[in-house]
Amino acid sequence: MIKLPAGFLLSGIKCGLKKNNKTDLGLIYCESYAEALGFFTTNKNVSYSVILSRKNISNPIKAIIANSGNANCFSHKNGLKDTENITSQLAKYLSANKNSILIASTGIIGKRLSGEKIISAFPRLVAELGKDKAESFSQSILTTDTFKKISYSEIKSDNGNARILGFAKGAGMIAPNVATMLVFILTDAILPKVLFKSIAKEAIDESFNSVTVDGCMSTNDTVFVLSSKKNVLKTAKEIKAFSKEFKKVCLDLATMLIKDGEGATKFIKISIKGAKSKAEAKKAGLSIANSNLFKCAVYGANPNWGRIIAALGHAGILVPEGIPIKMSDLTKKDINIEVDLKRGVFAQTVYTSDLTPEYIKINAEYS
């Protein structure tokens, strides 16, 4: 059973941003100000939402407003001012500091985001806040996704159970860093900030930064991690358990993104070992995962290992003749690929999907 971490409320409503009249505006409300971490796309061309949230992320956070149906990106010269107006008006409505609001957007690039529709929806958005609104918030951030992505875990502590609740959206334009997605992870655990950030970064590197659907990086990729700081984790055992469960939630959400990859019929796990470094192992895995030739071969259940050798060479990795390559049954939905580079002792796992005619259809019609 999902239980919202203490100190948070959620809502999700329709405000008319989507043509199909589906839920498109969500709110995460912090009853007290929350400690926040943000991990953003490395794309040089970013949305106005990313620009503003990067500026505010170091402050105590009162709320995150999220919209789907519009990327809020490269639409007009006053886009950033419009975005600042949305967050300032929300701060005013919540009697909060204007720099305590984060914003996340997803959808079409180049279309002006209707601040009027969003601001006029604030009374309904706030009125709908509750502890039982995980489903409606999750729905509010979806675009081409075919299902809601929610993951939950609890950690036993002396002060009661600490909770971790994560939401994600994403199906296409998935590539590190940080895969093409919006992710919101809420917890009521209290940890020293340096440790909190270290745990989050390691978990994100092993999950959201280790997945790819099509090698295309978005302008809006964002992972927000918020702690309401209600439940102190005191012992090393409790902190270790928190780190384990945090990683589990992140990987759970990341694999959902791949399983929902646009047009995907297969989930592919690529395990690299025998690399000179962890970075090389990851580079090797992602080169294979981003190879359209390899992904098409998996779709066709064609065990053409030459595609793997070519992808490794493309990554600048020279491998000896006869390196061990293992493939599970390619006619199944879940595929395991294991490659031993025979160059060192480091390993890394990445995740991807096959490339199908349906992927082309979806993106040919996306506008």
Q: Reply yes or no on whether the pLDDT at 22 is more than 70.
A: yes
Number of residues that make up the chain: 367
SS3 assignment for 20-74: CCCCCEEEEEEEEEEEEEEEECCCCCCCHHHHHHHHHCCCCEEEEEEEECECCCC
Q: How deeply is 95 buried, as exposed, middle or buried, from its count of CB atoms within 10 A (0-12, 13-18, 19+)?
A: exposed
Neighbours of 236 (CB within 10 A): 8
Give the confidence band of 158 by pLDDT, cuts at 50, 70, 90. confident
- pLDDT, mean of residues 211-215: 78
Give the chain's domains with CATH numbers: 8-259 (3.60.70.12), 267-365 (3.10.20.340)
Q: Tell me: cis bond preceding 223? Omega within 30 of 0 counts.
A: no
Q: What is the pLDDT of residue 366?
A: 65
- pLDDT, mean of residues 340-354: 95
Q: What is the pLDDT of residue 367?
A: 61
The lowest-confidence range among 235-249, 250-264, 269-283 is 250-264
Neighbours of 164 (CB within 10 A): 23
Q: What is the pLDDT of residue 186?
A: 98
Rounded Cα distance between 122 and 126, Å, is 6
In three-state secondary structure terms, 155 is strand
Structure tokens at 201: 């970064």
Average pLDDT along the chain: 92
pLDDT digits (tens, 9 = 90+) for 165-201: 999 998 655 444 433 489 999 999 999 999 999 999 9
The lowest-confidence range among 9-18, 258-267, 275-284 is 258-267
- pLDDT, mean of residues 242-262: 93
Catalytic residues, by residue number, are: 180
Higher-pLDDT residue of 214 and 195 is: 195
pLDDT digits (tens, 9 = 90+) for 118-150: 999 999 999 999 999 999 999 999 988 889 999
Q: What is the pLDDT of residue 172?
A: 57
Percent helix, strand, coil in the chain (nearest 5)?
35, 30, 40
Q: How deeply is 333 buried, as exposed, middle or buried, from its count of CB atoms within 10 A (0-12, 13-18, 19+)?
A: exposed
Give the confidence band of 13 by pLDDT, cuts at 50, 70, 90. very high
Q: Which segments of the chain does DSSP mark as H helices, in order?
A: 48-56, 79-93, 115-120, 122-127, 134-140, 193-205, 236-259, 278-289, 292-299, 306-314, 357-365
Rounded Cα distance between 253 and 118, Å, is 27
pLDDT digits (tens, 9 = 90+) for 69-101: 999 999 989 999 999 999 999 999 999 999 999
pLDDT digits (tens, 9 = 90+) for 288-326: 999 999 999 999 999 999 999 999 999 999 998 889 999
